[in-house]
Amino acid sequence: MTEESLSNAPISEPQNRSTASLVFYLLLTIPLPFCLFIYHFIVWSFEQSAIISLSAQAFAWSGIVGLLVQTIALGIVTGLLWWLTNDARFKTWFRGIFIATLIGLSTLLLRLLGANNDQLGFITQFLIAIILFFILYRIEKNNFVWGKDKLPFGLLISAIAISPLVIFGSLGLVGDVFLSLLAGLAIGLLASTLITDSAENVLLNGLGVSTVLTLLASSFGYDGSQLILIVLLPAFAFGIAALLPSKSATSVAIGLITFAGLAFFDPTELTIVLGDIAGLAVNATAIALLIGWGTSLVALLIRQVAKTGSTSRTKRAISWSSAGIAWMFLIATYFLFGNPGNYGDRLFVILKNQADISDVANIQNRDERLQETYKRLTEHANVTQADLRNIFDIARVKYTPYYLQNSIEVQGGTLMRLFLTFHPDVERVIPSPRLRAAPEASPSPGFVTEVDGSVQWNITMIGADKVWEEFGVQGEGIIIGQSDSGVDGEHPAIAGQYRGYNGSDDYNWFDPWAGTTSPNDEGGHGTHTLGTIVGKFGIGVAPEAEWIGCVNLDRNLANPALYLDCMQFMLAPFPIGGNPLTDGDPTQAAHVLNNSWGCPDIEGCDPNALLHAVDNLRHAGIFVVVSTGNDGPSCETVASPLSLYDSVFSVGAIDWNGDMASFSSRGPVTVDGSGRIKPDIVAPGMDILSSLPQGTYGANSGTSMAGPHVAGVVALIWSAQPDLIGDIDATEQLIIDTAQPYSGRTDEGCFTGEIPNNAYGFGVVDVYEAVKQALGE
């Protein structure tokens, strides 16, 4: 049957009209989008709790369980409504809603993919949607009306819907965009087989469209994208309903809107751990929701225009021109007011052939030891990476080589990952996610503008003030390497200790995130942790130690490559804009590294992602202090690099009473199969007063606050006894031997009574006793 004959055919009255069917239809379709949004927000929140703390790891299955419960519960309800309803207006709708509900069973696989597998997710979405479309199309093809006359109106509606996302969102790699477009269009085709105009008017049909789209959004979205789609798609349901019965128009409109919801926001970045991308997504979808409601008014006009002579050449010209203008305006908006650029994830390639430099530990002279380390590692990287670098150069693929651990970060997606996985030089390939664009954050100052200079309780607890007074040692001659969110280089408590304070930022500052050329801190975390190490006015352990800085965590989610960027800089600092492999000066290396961060799988790391890097730092004689993490109080929660490694000194947190902080991660380390006891020691980590941006002060809690105490402790020990500089084994043993026994509460988490144990390690750090013993007193 032709489109013209179909549109002019007399409309038969639906049989078996039923008021009860209408009531049930309204009771189902009106509240469902709102209820499912609330439901999936709660489910997503449970999933987020598993990301925030490994102690809540059981909630990691919330997404799968939640979708399964939804599918079974709604499947029973909608199936009964379809079976029991005889009203032709709604029976077809109940059938479509029932099928849309059951589709949730086929999309459970999406929730098993894990973080940072966007391209694989798009491919899976496409395959599920296109297979289901062809199955349903074969069943429905006799009733399938493509209706190309309304296609421009579908393009117009989608352009209107997408407009907020092009302003607030940003796109990934070209491959990401292409695959998300395929997935979106496939979902649009699938949706078009489930929606109909059988309810007679735009209002009732719109409610049905809204329900079907909500169910598909909740099924095909995952890791947070379901929340965007559940708001975005139903918002334009009445505009889409106005396009019925045209399947081409509805599938294109739904498909392009779905594409935008998938493409402009990376679902992994919607995590509350990050925050800024979720805020942008909320703004975009809220505006789209308002626009969608407004578009419902335009929908009536669209329907009237489409009815009054669909074969008119003038009307076709006007409709296509309107769609074209809308899309040109949309593209112009993206480039003028959006975030054009390539923000896609990358790949971190770990090579099989890792350099063995363990013998450099036998070199007595520190500078010679560091220079030999740098020389051998860079030469090894240049030789063993040559084949891969040549391939990347020929293919014009962007990449960054690393030497501290023989690795390469590569720009590429699924095909590149497949190629590298089977390359003979490659041990494994893991994600190296790059965050999408977000407005520059303003530094978060504290509420205290000055301190009185009295020694803080945490400094007294570990005996640092006694070291100052009795031995006259405050960290002189020791360089702290601070890798964090950055440092407020003008803060009065820490500015004077910056090694480049009266000189140059060359060899003293590196920002692989934004390329800034002098110390700054958008987040405040790095300023706080550094203040505990070197801060003056009673807040720091070693106030005369110097520091150099690197930004590895500008926005609270990084990746293995960014972490390695800073670790390399600490071994061999280089000038601003320099090449780490050729311009590094290992004679300017830091003595002690503070690492108040971890790299969980959401950031791309597997347990051994940075193992070789920390091993090589230890061989070079650089002391690596790491906070264990805030995943307690459950056992086996020391699970993310770097804190789980044997080559680092891991620090848990206690409060001012000496009790273990409930959040402090516990061992044993099981993710790498070692069963290693962690932490090594504990230090104050609750309500620690330290420096914050804009010259202010404030109290923070976390193992991030505990680790800096031990970095300061090492600085005091090495300053007091230079013979220990570079002797990691002897320094660790000294700290362990002089630790104070833990005397706090033991009613929560992994206390065995043995020493060391997986709650507090060897005890509470005591720098006074450590320095005293180091000096032989």
Would you give the distance in Å from CA 43 to the centre of its chain?
18
Measured CA to CA, the distance from residue 402 to residue 586 in angstroms comes to 15
pLDDT tens per residue, range 597-621: 999 999 999 999 999 999 999 999 9
Q: For residue 431, which of 448, 449, 412 has the smallest C-alpha distance?
A: 412
pLDDT tens per residue, range 711-767: 999 999 999 999 999 999 999 999 999 999 999 999 888 898 899 999 999 999 999
Q: For residue 404, which of 553, 560, 576 has the smallest C-alpha distance?
A: 560
In this prediction, residues 464-477 reach a mean pLDDT of 98
Confidence of residue 4 (pLDDT cuts 50, 70, 90): very low
Measured CA to CA, the distance from residue 256 to residue 186 in angstroms comes to 10
Confidence of residue 12 (pLDDT cuts 50, 70, 90): very low
Measured CA to CA, the distance from residue 565 to residue 581 in angstroms comes to 11
In this prediction, residues 307-320 reach a mean pLDDT of 70
pLDDT of 476 reads 98
pLDDT of 307 reads 59
Q: For residue 514, which of 441, 621, 459 has the smallest C-alpha distance?
A: 441
CB 533 within 8 A of CB 539: no
Confidence of residue 37 (pLDDT cuts 50, 70, 90): very high
Q: Residue 57 pLDDT > 70, yes or no? A: yes
One-letter amino acid for residue 74 of the chain: L
In this prediction, residues 555-565 reach a mean pLDDT of 95
- Which is more confidently placed, 391 or 9? 391
In this prediction, residues 115-136 reach a mean pLDDT of 95
Two tokens, residue 503: 């000189």
Mean per-residue pLDDT of the chain? 93
Q: Clarify whether 525 is annotated catalytic.
A: yes
SS3 content of the chain, % helix, strand, coil (to 5): 50, 10, 40
pLDDT of 300 reads 62
Measured CA to CA, the distance from residue 14 to residue 21 in angstroms comes to 13
Kindly provide the b/e burial profile for residues 382-398, where b requires at least 16 CB atoms within 10 angstroms of the residue's own CB: eebbeebeeebeeeeee
CB 293 within 8 A of CB 236: no
Confidence of residue 7 (pLDDT cuts 50, 70, 90): very low
One-letter amino acid for residue 565 of the chain: D
- Which is more confidently placed, 173 or 374? 374
Confidence of residue 1 (pLDDT cuts 50, 70, 90): very low
Q: Residue 318 pLDDT > 90, yes or no? A: no
Q: Residue 42 pLDDT > 50, yes or no? A: yes
In this prediction, residues 579-586 reach a mean pLDDT of 98
pLDDT tens per residue, range 257-306: 999 999 999 988 888 877 778 888 888 888 988 888 777 666 666 666 55
Two tokens, residue 404: 């501290």
Which region, left, alpha or beta, applies to residue 110 given φ > 0 means left and ψ of -120 to 50 means alpha? alpha
pLDDT of 443 reads 77
CB 759 within 8 A of CB 660: yes
Two tokens, residue 695: 């010259």
pLDDT tens per residue, range 587-603: 999 999 999 999 999 99
Which region, left, alpha or beta, applies to residue 752 given φ > 0 means left and ψ of -120 to 50 means alpha? alpha
Confidence of residue 115 (pLDDT cuts 50, 70, 90): confident
Backbone angles phi, psi at 301, to 5 degrees: -65, -40
Q: Is 487 exposed, middle or buried, given 0-12, 13-18 or 19+ CB atoms closer than 10 A?
A: buried
Two tokens, residue 74: 């709604």
Residue with tokens 């051998």: 376
Would you give the distance in Å from CA 99 to the centre of its chain?
33
CB 636 within 8 A of CB 750: no
Confidence of residue 311 (pLDDT cuts 50, 70, 90): low
Two tokens, residue 301: 């006009």
Two tokens, residue 31: 């509240």
Q: Residue 198 pLDDT > 70, yes or no? A: yes
Measured CA to CA, the distance from residue 172 to residue 343 in angstroms comes to 5
Angle between helices 32-52 and 225-235 (to 10 degrees): 160
Q: For residue 307, which of 8, 555, 670 has the smallest C-alpha distance?
A: 8
254 three-class SS: helix
In this prediction, residues 199-218 reach a mean pLDDT of 94
Would you give the distance in Å from CA 684 to the centre of its chain?
28
CB 704 within 8 A of CB 529: yes
Q: Which of 248, 483, 691, 704 is catalytic?
A: 704
Measured CA to CA, the distance from residue 288 to residue 161 in angstroms comes to 6
Two tokens, residue 145: 């009306």
One-letter amino acid for residue 39 of the chain: Y
The contacts of residue 442 (CB under 8 Å, 6+ apart) are 522
- Percentage, residues of the chain above pLDDT 70: 96
CB 510 within 8 A of CB 573: yes
Q: Residue 179 pLDDT > 70, yes or no? A: yes
Measured CA to CA, the distance from residue 44 to residue 32 in angstroms comes to 18
Q: Clarify whether 704 is annotated catalytic.
A: yes
pLDDT tens per residue, range 637-693: 999 999 999 999 999 999 999 999 999 999 999 999 999 999 999 999 999 999 999
Q: Which of 525, 591, 619, 709 is catalytic?
A: 525
The contacts of residue 43 (CB under 8 Å, 6+ apart) are 62, 63, 66, 67
Confidence of residue 11 (pLDDT cuts 50, 70, 90): very low
Measured CA to CA, the distance from residue 538 to residue 769 in angstroms comes to 20
CB 624 within 8 A of CB 664: no
pLDDT tens per residue, range 426-463: 999 999 999 888 887 777 788 899 999 999 999 999 99
Q: Clarify whether 491 is annotated catalytic.
A: no
Q: Residue 244 pLDDT > 50, yes or no? A: yes
H/E stretch holding 282 reads helix 276-307
pLDDT of 273 reads 79
548 three-class SS: strand
Measured CA to CA, the distance from residue 219 to residue 66 in angstroms comes to 10
Eight-class DSSP state of 439: P
Two tokens, residue 241: 């309903």
Eight-class DSSP state of 490: T
Provide the H-helix boundaries in 113-150: 118-140
β partners of residue 669: 676
Fold of 457-774: Rossmann fold (3.40.50)
pLDDT of 15 reads 56
Q: Is 298 exposed, middle or buried, given 0-12, 13-18 or 19+ CB atoms closer than 10 A?
A: middle
Q: Which of 197, 223, 484, 506 is catalytic?
A: 484
pLDDT tens per residue, range 393-406: 999 999 999 999 99
Measured CA to CA, the distance from residue 470 to residue 347 in angstroms comes to 52
CB 532 within 8 A of CB 710: no
Q: For residue 220, which of 189, 247, 252 has the smallest C-alpha distance?
A: 189
pLDDT of 304 reads 60
DSSP E strand stretches across 497-622: 509-510, 546-551, 592-595
Tell me if the pTM is above 0.85: yes
